[in-house]
């Protein structure tokens, strides 16, 4: 791996981990706000909104630091990036063909299952 690829890989890894950390912070913020609603914490804790946002930021930052600073997680993420670089992605036309094929297949399967459901409901209706 060249130094340019290594630098670019580190950039993408850090970006992905930062997005993950933001999502974790958002989930924690939503969870703490739900807890506040259930237990009426906003009336019991002054400046609860700042407290909740502080918790979310702390958890998100901790997630980012743990994922990027610990050797095992950093090595794992580097290996994942290294494997993703080796992936040969299909051409646009082939992807479009396969997408159309999947849509047609799912539509046919949906009609067949719908037909089975309709027939089963009619047969069960005769039993009543």
11 within 8 A of 81, measured Cβ to Cβ? no
> What are the extents of the domains in the chain?
1-87, 90-128
Rounded to the nearest 5°, which phi and psi values hold at 60?
A: -65, -45
What pLDDT is attached to residue 123?
94
**Structure confidence at residue 5 (pLDDT):** 63
The pLDDT score that the predictor gives to residue 6 is 66
CA 113 to chain centre: 30
- Residue 56 pLDDT level (bands cut at 50, 70, 90): very high
Report pLDDT digits (tens) over 28-50. 999 999 999 999 988 888 898 99
**Tokens for 25?**
């912070």
pLDDT tens profile 63-104: 999 999 999 998 999 999 999 889 998 999 999 999 999 999
């Amino acid at each position: 791996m060249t130094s340019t690829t290594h630098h670019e890989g580190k950039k993408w890894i850090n970006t992905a981990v930062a997005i993950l950390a933001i999502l974790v912070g958002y989930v924690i913020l939503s969870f703490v706000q739900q807890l506040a609603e259930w237990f009426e914490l906003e009336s019991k804790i002054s400046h609860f909104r700042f407290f909740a946002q502080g918790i979310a930021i702390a958890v998100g930052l901790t997630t980012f630091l743990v994922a990027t600073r610990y050797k095992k997680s950093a090595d794992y993420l580097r290996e994942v990036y290294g494997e993703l670089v080796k992936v040969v992605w299909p051409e646009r036309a082939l992807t479009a063909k396969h997408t159309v094929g999947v849509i047609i297949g799912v539509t046919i399967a949906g009609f067949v299952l719908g037909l089975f459901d309709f027939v089963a409901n009619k047969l069960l209706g005769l039993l009543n």
